[in-house]
Structure 1
Amino acid sequence: MTQMPPTNVVTTSSRPVGFLSGIRVGPTKPTLPNTFTARVECNLLDLNRSTDVIEYYDFPHNRGAIYQTEKGMTGQIVYNYDTNELFIVDRTATKSCVVDELTEDNNDFLFGYKQVNQSTRIFSPSAALRFGGKIVEKYLGKSLVRGIVVEGWQSCSYWPDMDATSKVTWYFSDASEWTEAIGGDRLPVRCEIVGKSYNSDGGSKSYHHIYEFTHFRPYIDANPDHVFEAPKGMYCENRKSLKALPISPQYFHFEAEIVVPQTKIVSYIAEWYDYTSRLVRYDYSPFPSDSKGVGLGRITEIHDFNTGVKYVTNTAFGNCTVGVIDPNGFDTVEVNPHTVRLRNPNQFFDLDGTFQYEGVHRTSRVDCDGWVSKKKSFPPVMNETVTEWLLTTGDWMVGAGNDYQKGVPKKLKISSTDGSGLQYVYNIFNYRHSEPAVWDYNIRDCFRDAQTRHLQFLLDASYRTVLMKVYRQKFEYALYQAIRIQAVISPVRVTDLQVDYNEQGIEVTFTLLDVAPITGDVQQGSMETPLDVAAENLFSQIRSGQFVVTVPHKPNDLKLKAKPDSGKTLKVREWLNNPIPRRAKGYRPGDMAAVALVMLIVGAVIGCGIVIMIYRKNGGSFFPKPYQAEKFDLPPQDPK
């Protein structure tokens, strides 16, 4: 960048003899504002070259920035004195960003720095512009510059770093004879520097620079969140991250619109993640080219990491395809060539990597905190990408699930760094991290009736009392976990859970499914519990009075015990009298009253981590890899 004069200007006593003689007594010199924006055309006459510069100076907030365009390329330097960082950004050629320590870099020539009480401060306005303050200047009188009536002041300075002596002339508009567009006081119009520098071998070089101030405003005339920061979505080497990414929750659900601008493709996906139960679910509609083996229509895919088995159901036809979990999926970590495990919440999207906080964004008129990271082979089809997460700021609350949340994911952008322009944009909505609903991971269609047991028991508790303390969904999730733990089975084998009540207590009815139809690809401590053994495990715990459902609640958890004589197996006819629960369409008056109460109780739950399926090993498809004919396939059941 073209350098302004260095900051270590020697005092008047070192100036050439005769400069002070004949100084005219002129008007008071203009007062420089402590915040300004200046657009300057820099004409370097000795080099036959021009360059354009925009300066943003903010003394109250201890920061500065310059943008320079020269030979068709634009660079940016941001001075952050509070963090002692100097951002050097190439905005056109390499689109790169590097951060140096401000006090150690030689690019401090424009705004300078000084130590004040062990902190680093930007130069005062007069020191930054090399005008006024302690600098002795001679009044030149009035003249015309670019047709504008101006007043001139001249100084002579010696700069040791360049071994140079310069004559510096400033011209300010004359407020008594010229009215600026914004009115007010005198504004800078031109600065002219003429001088000569000497090198170590005795040679010299003359220079002549004219700086035309074509625009000057005593304020920052752009968005400070943009001009004093590196471009959004740009990863800066060595940048200090001033805010950590929030910790990802153990379970969550979201929906996303996936946009690929380069290929003009828009698709949609819904995803559920439950690290506690080791389950993941994806709902999507494959493109015709991706539908081999599963058919067209809405697809539900459930990954059970307790067994290493995946269940893919075409919801239009009811057919279910079963296979092992893909070791190259984004929800998997390959333990060895034959086994996989579920990624933890942060690993799911490589959120445990190095992310830099990049300030506040605004997307869909919502303020969001942004974090950016550079990653290798993420997604696997790309060599290197920049990943950018946007989460709502702490002063925005988002209704989700059974609560209001802060720090909710709004957008994910993944951009290739190879110059191809390839980018994936995920617009996220309907995010929640409340307890999963009991029907979220239903694989009932993948089993025949002979592979099921319908069971029932009673909890010795008042249904009304329970629901006065916790949401129904939280209660049902705790019940669901208790059944699978005490039956010693994978949680996905508990399905069709129903809760009702009578004068004897809370009636619980559900279906147990048989073991997985195939052997999966996870490390298992023991073989899966057979269906009849799992049912007996459960009844044994009930008969002995040891079946207890623990529902999280503050200040004390709720402990609900099953009645010892209540466990029984239902016949098919009895089961048919207990319809499978479905989501209700619309609200009853009691539901609306509950919703109104919830709207008044606003929580401050911070959620962050979210999982979106970016890439499936299918030639870069967004959707899961089609299943081949050799996979275990169950036909839809005949209605009876």
Structure 2
Amino acid sequence: MPSYWFFSNFRSQMDLLCPLSVFMVLTSILSSVLAEFNPEVCKPYTPSVKQPPAFPSLFYWRMEINENEKQTVDAQQWVDGYKQSLSIIYNGVEIKTLSDYQLMEQYILTYKPYYFDRGIPECEVLKLDLIPSTEGAYTSKSGPLSALLANRIFTNSFRDDYPSVYIGESDVRGIPCDHYRACGYQALYDTTFVMDYYISKPGYQTASGTDPIPVRAVVVGEAILNSGSVYPVNFIYELLFFRTDPIPAIVFQTPPGVGCPNRTKTTPIPMPPDRFQMRVEEIISFNQIVFYVDEWYDYPANLIRFDYAPPTAIPQYTYGLNPMSEIHDYNTGIAYLIDKYTNNCTAKPIYNSTSDSEPTDDPHYVRLRTGAELFGYDKVDYSYEGQRTVRGILCDVWVGSRTDWPPNFETDTTWEMYWAAEGWVDDSGMTGVANQPIQQRIYFIKEETDIIINTYKYNEEPISYADFDISPCYRDEAHTRGQFQMSDDNNGEDTIDFVSNNELIFIEDVRNSIAVAAKVSPIRITDIWIRYTSRVWVAFKLLDTPSIHGDVENPVKEPGLSEAFTNIETVVNAGGLTVKMIKSDKSEITLSAQPETLSTGAIDPNLPEPDKTYSSGMMAGVACGTALVGLIIGGSIGYVILLRR
């Protein structure tokens, strides 16, 4: 790519920095009157035969600038095609600009002074305007003129209008150089100057192996202020480091924790599916807490489950430190908290303080948050940042900001979402998942801390209703056992073998068929057992309706225990309870419950009885206000925010 590409695009650097010195005041009023080249400052030279080499299209350099013998500016710049990154340090402050000429956008990052804890920089988004104009050439973000001119001087962007003349050989810091001179004029800043620049001689051994490299530039001239007065220009550029190696993509990205509101949207963020499960690791650094939650989300079934072990005794959490399984049934609005050691169960309404619930228009009721809401898409305006590596996995990264979280402790936060990049596959399930969430990171800007949420064992396979087993929450008199026989028309060994080889699929299919016959939710059909003789024997447990009322606006109304069992009996005797299965050759097997085989009470002696270790009964527990995850995060964040304020 020709070097003039950089010259025409240098307009991006007009809005780089915040005013932090008297010079900023001067440059903020540079001329907006008619600007023109001043021949009294520099008379254009006749071009020599020998001209400076073309500048590469990819480079990284560091330089020290002496500006008018009054201040020193350190500058670093990375350029790769349509992306540029410039970092300037002066007067104890660093300001960085990231320019994207495909999006025609620039991100200005302002850090705290070095003598403070620098923290996370503020970000402002500017649209790039490449049309040369003195109107509004400087804004409140303008910086030292010397830094703004650096790129143009070294790349000799003025050669088309003001050709260079070869002066001769010179030694600069002991480096043999070719010395060139040219006039220069920047209408944007109404600055006319003479520039002498020095390029290492071909064959000189540089540290990087690049040959030749720019070494020094001296610029002398003047800029005209709005008042008509002259601002002297006497800049010396010492280029101390120059490389043309490939530049990592992360150089052109905003640093971690930085959100840039209103930046252009490019790649859309992935949406979570209707069903998925994963293990979540939450790291709350300011409380030095790490805890794990296994999570199941089944949106078509309106069911959510969390398995966790409380890491410490938490205020308001009254269920002890044993591992817990928490099932939220949004069909009824009831949450079931089951102690996995003792099988004790507490049932209570789902409150709007849980991580998966959202208040409806009527604050007395809740609904299940959508997958997009669970991931924060409704509150965070995510923009695609690029690719980074976390946990050794290359990820696509989306970044956004939020000012209304956590609840009751609203503060400025930056949210980052990492999804595995194309080519990465998670094989933790029966089938690999190519597009999966890897990490979510929440930065607290003022508090200068963060929360890291890692996801493991992510898969999108069908979720069994057995994963939402609420049977420990029912007394013995609150359920009925039943069994019946099933067979197909052939009633042969091939059918028995096929069912036994696909028993998990068959169990879910027969659970759904029983639920349809009973006119109840499949979550009320539990403890399904299969035994094979000349037919397929099915044993199951039918649960009663809940004894408490949930907090959903329109709870599903279902028949009670007796009526539901009668419904099953009617369908079985009519030959209507069937299960259809598809074989690998696409042929179908249909098994039907045999009429007059449904029975209650004693289980057939040929069928193994399930474990009967149940809790002492369903307990409508006193509401404690929120789920464990909400308690840990909410309480911890509230504490650290109050402490640091």
Shorter-chain TM-score range: 0.7 to 0.9
Query: 2:77, 2:68 → 1: CA distance?
Result: 21
**CA shift for structure 1 position 411:** 1.1
Q: Secondary structure at the match of 2:570?
A: helix
Q: Which residues in structure 2 correspond to 1:55-454 (within 5 Å)?
A: 55-59=77-81, 62-92=82-112, 95-103=121-129, 129-130=155-156, 133-134=159-160, 135-175=162-202, 178-220=204-246, 222-223=247-248, 225-286=249-310, 287-290=312-315, 293-335=318-360, 336-353=362-379, 354-384=381-411, 385-417=413-445, 419-454=446-481
Q: Which residues in structure 2 correspond to 1:558-569 (within 5 Å)?
A: 560-565=590-595, 567-569=597-599
**CA shift for structure 1 position 405:** 0.6
Distance change in 2, residues 1:526/1:400 (3 Å): closer
**CA shift for structure 1 position 367:** 1.0
Q: Which residues in structure 2 correspond to 1:15-30 (within 5 Å)?
A: 15=39, 19=43, 25=48, 27-30=50-53
Q: Secondary structure at the match of 1:351?
A: coil
Partner of 2:515: 484
**CA shift for structure 1 position 440:** 1.1
Query: 2:518, 2:416 → 1: CA distance?
Result: 43
Partner of 1:589: none
**CA shift for structure 1 position 533:** 0.9
Q: Which residues in structure 2 correspond to 1:7-22 (within 5 Å)?
A: 15=39, 19=43
- Asked if residue 503 in structure 1 is aligned to residue 507 in structure 2, the reply is no
Distance change in 2, residues 1:581/1:139 (3 Å): farther
Instruction: Say whether the 8 Å CA contact 1:391–1:411 is kept in structure 2.
Output: yes
Q: 1:38 aligns with which of 61, 65, 75?
A: 61
Instruction: Say whether the 8 Å CA contact 1:382–1:416 is kept in structure 2.
Output: no
Query: 2:628, 2:588 → 1: CA distance?
Result: 40
Instruction: Say whether the 8 Å CA contact 2:357–2:369 is kept in structure 1.
Output: yes
Q: For each residue in 1:81-132, what CA deviation from the matched residue of structure 2 results, as whole angstroms up to 9, or x when unmatched?
A: 12222222224466222222222799999xxxxxxxxxxxxx9x98872257
**CA shift for structure 1 position 26:** 6.4
State the AA in 2 paired with 1:204: V
Instruction: Say whether the 8 Å CA contact 2:280–2:454 is kept in structure 1.
Output: yes
Q: For each residue in 1:347-382, what CA deviation from the matched residue of structure 2 results, as whole angstroms up to 9, or x when unmatched?
A: 223334432111112112111111222234333254
- Report the more deviating stretch, 282-291 or 150-159: 282-291
Distance change in 2, residues 1:562/1:81 (3 Å): same
Query: 2:194, 2:433 → 1: CA distance?
Result: 62
Partner of 2:574: 544
Instruction: Say whether the 8 Å CA contact 2:582–2:589 is kept in structure 1.
Output: no
Q: Secondary structure at the match of 2:634?
A: coil
**CA shift for structure 1 position 553:** 9.7
Query: 2:628, 2:261 → 1: CA distance?
Result: 25
Q: For each residue in 1:391-449, what CA deviation from the matched residue of structure 2 results, as whole angstroms up to 9, or x when unmatched?
A: 111211111322111111111112223x1124211121111221113421112221122
**CA shift for structure 1 position 233:** 3.7
Query: 1:181, 1:526 → 2: CA distance?
Result: 75
State the AA in 2 paired with 1:324: P
State the AA in 1 paired with 2:253: E
**CA shift for structure 1 position 307:** 1.4
Q: Secondary structure at the match of 1:574?
A: coil
Query: 1:551, 1:106 → 2: CA distance?
Result: 71
Instruction: Say whether the 8 Å CA contact 1:262–1:421 is kept in structure 2.
Output: no
Query: 1:341, 1:18 → 2: CA distance?
Result: 74
Partner of 2:115: none
Instruction: Say whether the 8 Å CA contact 1:457–1:562 is kept in structure 2.
Output: no
Instruction: Say whether the 8 Å CA contact 1:453–1:511 is kept in structure 2.
Output: yes
**CA shift for structure 1 position 140:** 1.6
| TM-score (normalizing by structure 1) | 0.79
Query: 2:42, 2:603 → 1: CA distance?
Result: 114
State the AA in 1 paired with 2:255: P
State the AA in 1 paired with 2:565: A
Query: 1:107, 1:448 → 2: CA distance?
Result: 81
Instruction: Say whether the 8 Å CA contact 2:132–2:187 is kept in structure 1.
Output: no
Query: 1:558, 1:330 → 2: CA distance?
Result: 42
Q: Secondary structure at the match of 1:357?
A: strand
**CA shift for structure 1 position 36:** 0.9
Percent pairwise identity: 25
**CA shift for structure 1 position 343:** 1.5
Instruction: Say whether the 8 Å CA contact 2:578–2:590 is kept in structure 1.
Output: yes
Uncovered stretches (5+) of structure 2, i.e. residues with no partner:
1-15, 18-23, 113-117, 136-148, 489-494, 613-626, 638-645
Query: 2:134, 2:229 → 1: CA distance?
Result: 26
Instruction: Say whether the 8 Å CA contact 1:545–1:561 is kept in structure 2.
Output: no
Q: Give the aligned CA root-mean-square deviation in angstroms.
A: 3.6
Instruction: Say whether the 8 Å CA contact 1:255–1:429 is kept in structure 2.
Output: yes
State the AA in 2 paired with 1:45: N
Instruction: Say whether the 8 Å CA contact 2:98–2:252 is kept in structure 1.
Output: yes
Distance change in 2, residues 1:374/1:619 (3 Å): closer
Query: 2:37, 2:231 → 1: CA distance?
Result: 24
**CA shift for structure 1 position 248:** 1.5
State the AA in 2 paired with 1:383: E
Partner of 1:636: none
Query: 2:198, 2:102 → 1: CA distance?
Result: 33
State the AA in 2 paired with 1:319: N
Query: 2:313, 2:401 → 1: CA distance?
Result: 33
Query: 1:229, 1:158 → 2: CA distance?
Result: 32
Partner of 2:525: 494
State the AA in 2 paired with 1:197: A
Instruction: Say whether the 8 Å CA contact 1:410–1:427 is kept in structure 2.
Output: yes
Q: For each residue in 1:133-180, what CA deviation from the matched residue of structure 2 results, as whole angstroms up to 9, or x when unmatched?
A: 53411212122222322221111123333333200111111235x422
Q: Which residues in structure 2 correspond to 1:494-533 (within 5 Å)?
A: 494-504=525-535, 506-524=536-554, 527-533=557-563
Instruction: Say whether the 8 Å CA contact 2:185–2:193 is kept in structure 1.
Output: yes
Query: 1:58, 1:242 → 2: CA distance?
Result: 20
Instruction: Say whether the 8 Å CA contact 2:95–2:110 is kept in structure 1.
Output: yes
The number of residue pairs the alignment matches comes to 564
Partner of 2:75: 53
Partner of 1:616: 630
Instruction: Say whether the 8 Å CA contact 2:479–2:542 is kept in structure 1.
Output: yes
Query: 1:329, 1:530 → 2: CA distance?
Result: 29
Uncovered stretches (5+) of structure 1, i.e. residues with no partner:
110-122, 583-612, 624-640
Query: 2:548, 2:603 → 1: CA distance?
Result: 30
Q: Which residues in structure 2 correspond to 1:453-472 (within 5 Å)?
A: 453-461=480-488, 462=495, 464-465=497-498
Instruction: Say whether the 8 Å CA contact 1:65–1:76 is kept in structure 2.
Output: yes
Partner of 2:621: none
Query: 1:553, 1:408 → 2: CA distance?
Result: 30
